[in-house]
Amino acid sequence: MSNSAPTPTTMKAWLYNSASGDLSKNLYLDTSARTPPSPAPHEIYVQVLTASLNPADYKVPTWVFGIAAQIVIGLPASPGMDFCGRILATGSQVTQFSPGQLVFGCHSRPMKYGSLAEYLSISADLVAAVPEGVSPESAGAIGIAGQSAYQSLNGYVKEGDKVLIVGGSGGCGLFAIQIAKALGCHVTTTCSTRNVELCRSLGADEVIDYTAVDDIAGTLREQGVVFDHIVDHVGLPKDLYYHCHHFLKEDGVFLQIGALSKSIYPGRIGWPSILGGGRRKFRLFFFANTQAHVAVIGEMLLKGTLKVHVDSEYEFENAIKAFDRLASDRTRGKVLIRVAKE
């Protein structure tokens, strides 16, 4: 290590030894868990202050009956990817950060030492300094969802474009609405009745209440071929992509960023248009953890063009309740966990 404060040998951490079935039922709080090893030359060692949850935190470890957790992540492991924290030590090759700095970002995937623990190590190339005036709570909430929302729009749209965001009230959707508006787009989104005003308050120009409309594709068809880009977070209705040529321009892209059911992917990817499949370009979204994008989103938080809408907030000891809330599929924005106080 080049610069460091004394690092502890034990910590409080939420751990799981098995990811078979429901991850939250396998979680337990260990008050003397082993801390991460000293940072590698390119890494920083961070005391975690806040963390936020994403569906991948509980879904990925359970893949293939929990084998993904055993082989890819390593057990026992702490869940959590998003975080904001204070640097305690830096690796010998790290020059852009120093101990004491407040940083934020995320792991690229679930790791053995996740953010639901007092300490973690991470590559310095995956984090950015928290802008002065941005709270640790806001900074700790944007890692996966904020970057995903930015990447689903950046490079696809330009000022004046019309964008359809399917599922605007989730953690990623609420960021996507705001980022699309910041990029100068006209935004239409879908959500349930209880979230209509929330989506409008964050900038949506038009909101379609899917609980009050029998045929969303038909409703969109009435507008004509007007959309330049579509971002789908939920995969519902299942036939939406097959009808999108009626409202998505010929050079537009239908980008699938997530889905409530894996069953929608085979048809959207492989069903040929000649047999009724989609007639517009379909792409699956792949997340890229990028320091530059973390920094851009931090600046948007500072300027107020991007705000974090918190669905719920939990103390560290109540992390299981946070997972249960996220898994309910009823969240409106981000689920936060206070890991430690400043």
DSSP helix, strand, coil percent of the chain (3-state; round to 5): 30, 30, 40
Q: What pLDDT digit, counting tens, does each position of 186-226 carry?
A: 999 999 999 999 999 999 999 999 999 989 999 999 999 99
Q: Distance of alpha carbon 297 from its chain centroid, rounded? A: 13
b/e 175-199 (16+ beta carbons within 10 angstroms → b): bbbbbbbebebbbbbbbeeebbebb
Q: Is the pLDDT of residue 2 over 60?
A: no
The encoded tokens of residue 10 equal 């034990």
Question: Could you tell me the maximum CA-CA distance found in the chain, to the nearest angstrom?
Answer: 65
d(CA 134, CA 223): 40
Q: What is the pairing mode between strands 102-106 and 82-90?
A: antiparallel
Determine the angle formed by the axes of helices 143-151 and 291-303, rounding to 10 degrees: 100
d(CA 182, CA 158): 10
Q: Is the pLDDT of residue 3 over 70?
A: no
Mean pLDDT value across the chain:
93
| Percent above pLDDT 90 for the chain | 81
Give the mean model confidence (pLDDT) for residues 334-339. Answer: 97
Edge to edge, what strands does the sheet with 186-191 contain? 206-209, 186-191, 162-166, 227-232, 248-256, 281-284
> To 5 degrees, how large is the angle CA 101–CA 319–CA 315?
60
Q: What is the DSSP string of 33-58?
A: EEPPPPPPTTEEEEEEEEEE--HHHH
The encoded tokens of residue 104 equal 């934020």
Give the mean model confidence (pLDDT) for residues 327-341. Answer: 91
Q: What is the pLDDT of residue 270?
A: 76
Listed in sequence order, the DSSP H helices in the chain are 55-59, 67-68, 136-139, 143-151, 171-182, 196-201, 216-221, 240-243, 264-270, 291-303, 319-327
Q: What pLDDT digit, counting tens, does each position of 279-321 carry?
A: 899 999 999 999 999 999 999 999 999 999 999 999 999 999 9
| Domains of the chain with CATH codes | 3-142+308-338 (3.90.180.10), 153-284 (3.40.50.720)
Q: How confident is the model at residue 144 (pLDDT cuts 50, 70, 90)?
A: very high
Q: What pLDDT digit, counting tens, does each position of 233-268 carry?
A: 999 999 999 999 999 999 999 999 988 777 777 878
From the number of C-beta atoms within 10 Å of its C-beta (0-12, 13-18, 19+), residue 65 rates as exposed
Residues 6+ apart with CB under 8 A from 16: 23, 26, 27, 28, 61, 69, 75, 76, 77, 79
Give the mean model confidence (pLDDT) for residues 144-173. Answer: 97
Q: What is the pLDDT of residue 276?
A: 66
**Between residues 114 and 264, the one the model is more confident about:** 114
Half-sphere exposure (CA, 13 Å, Cβ side) for 48? 35
| Statement: the pTM of the whole predicted model exceeds 0.75 | yes
CA distances from 267 to 68, 167, 237, 286 (A): 25, 20, 13, 19
d(CA 210, CA 253): 22
Q: What is the pLDDT of residue 6?
A: 65
